[in-house]
């Protein structure tokens, strides 16, 4: 029998690599939330009318609401496939401490949803005539806010993974928790447009991120154990 030398960092790296490999094996699922984001935003000039002023006024809120919804769209698959094929049982039994495995999964999720969304957001901002001066603030706010969405979403996804149709419940659990991120994120962009320093909102987002980074992996790990009962 081979000697057992479990290493948290090695397990973390392996989990990250595994989830990223799976994500890139199914590129359709990968681009789905991003397509949803861009297309959802492209609908606004069509629905509201192409008036630059009116669109620019709505832009911070619209850009953030769509970011929330497209993250939500991608959440259900976070643990679903692992649950279906039995890997989740193995994760719970073998990864010690479990929250490190959860954190690796959430990081992988953010790298394939939140990060590309933040990178794509200047294009989306262009569609809504967001002033160019506010674009760096938008990207910064999304870089701080989308990991919070992934972390909070992981708790909801872990709680609902055992349910056959957990989608609605997942929305009900997760969306209210997203509200502070929405208010602060859109508020930062709006402040920049109005010539106010958005540092306060960005600092709030950063502190919420730090808090969620320390709390949600434990909560999600606990929820996974409950879901597997």
Residue 214 near other proteins by CB under 8 A: no
72 contributes a contact to other proteins by CB under 8 A = no
# residues near other proteins by CB under 8 A = 33
**Binding other proteins by CB under 8 A: which of 10, 31, 126, 199?**
10
From the list 114, 89, 94, 111, the residue with the least C-alpha distance to 16 is 111
Residues 57, 128 contacting (CB under 8 angstroms): no
Under the criterion CB under 8 A, does residue 26 sit at the interface with other proteins?
yes
- Interacting residue with other proteins among 20, 22, 65, 135 (CB under 8 A): 22
Going through the chain in order, the beta strands assigned E by DSSP cover none
Q: Does 81 bind other proteins (CB under 8 A)?
A: yes
- Give the three-class secondary structure for 217: helix
According to CB under 8 A, which one of 50, 51, 84, 211 is a site residue for other proteins? 84
Q: Which is nearer to other proteins, 220 or 224 (CB)?
A: 224
- The span of 84-92, 153-161, 186-194, 212-220 binding other proteins (CB under 8 A) equals 84-92
Angle between the N-to-C axes of helices 114-127 and 52-75, in degrees from 0 to 180, rounded to the nearest 10: 160
Output 162 or 173, the one with its CB closest to other proteins: 162
Interacting positions 87-106 with other proteins (CB under 8 A): 87, 89-95, 101
In the chain, the N- to C-terminal Cα span, in Å, equals 31
Residue 164 touching other proteins (CB under 8 A):
no
Three-class secondary structure of residue 154 per DSSP: helix
Other Cβ atoms less than 10 A from the Cβ of 44: the count is: 20
Taking the complex as a whole, how short is the minimal distance between the CB of residue 133 and other proteins, in angstroms? 43
- The answer to whether the CB of 217 falls within 8 A of the CB of 78 is no
**Nearer Cβ to other proteins, position 23 or 135?**
23
Cis peptide before 63 (omega within 30 of 0): no
Q: Which stretch in 16-24, 122-130, 134-142, 154-162 sits in contact with other proteins by CB under 8 A?
A: 16-24
Instruction: Kindly compute the dihedral angle of the four CA atoms of residues 106, 113, 57, 40, in this order, to the nearest 10 degrees.
Output: -130
Does 27 sit near other proteins (CB under 8 A)?
Answer: no
DSSP-assigned letter for residue 4: P
Residue ranges binding other proteins (CB under 8 A): 1-7, 10-11, 13-15, 18, 21-22, 25-26, 81-82, 84-87, 89-95, 101, 228-229
């Amino acid at each position: 029998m081979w000697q057992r030398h479990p290493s948290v960092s090695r397990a973390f790296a392996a989990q990250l690599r595994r989830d990223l490999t799976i994500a890139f094996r199914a590129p359709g699922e990968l681009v789905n939330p991003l397509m949803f984001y861009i297309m959802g935003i492209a609908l606004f000039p069509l629905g509201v009318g192409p008036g630059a002023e009116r669109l620019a006024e709505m832009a911070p809120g619209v850009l953030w609401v769509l970011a929330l919804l497209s993250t939500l769209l991608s959440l259900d698959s976070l643990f679903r496939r692992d649950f279906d094929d039995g890997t989740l049982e193995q994760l719970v039994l073998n990864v010690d401490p479990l929250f490190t495995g959860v954190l690796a999964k959430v990081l992988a999720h953010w790298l394939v949803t939140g990060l590309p969304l933040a990178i794509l957001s200047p294009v989306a901002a262009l569609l809504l005539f967001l002033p160019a001066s506010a674009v760096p603030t938008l990207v910064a706010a999304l870089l701080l806010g989308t990991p919070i969405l992934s972390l909070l979403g992981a708790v909801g996804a872990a709680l609902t993974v055992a349910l056959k149709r957990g989608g609605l419940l997942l929305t009900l659990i997760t969306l209210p928790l997203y509200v502070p991120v929405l208010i602060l994120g859109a508020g930062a962009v709006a402040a920049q447009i109005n010539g106010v320093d958005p540092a306060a909102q960005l600092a709030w987002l950063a502190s919420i991120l730090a808090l969620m980074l320390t709390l949600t992996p434990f909560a999600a790990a606990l929820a996974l154990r409950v879901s597997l009962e």
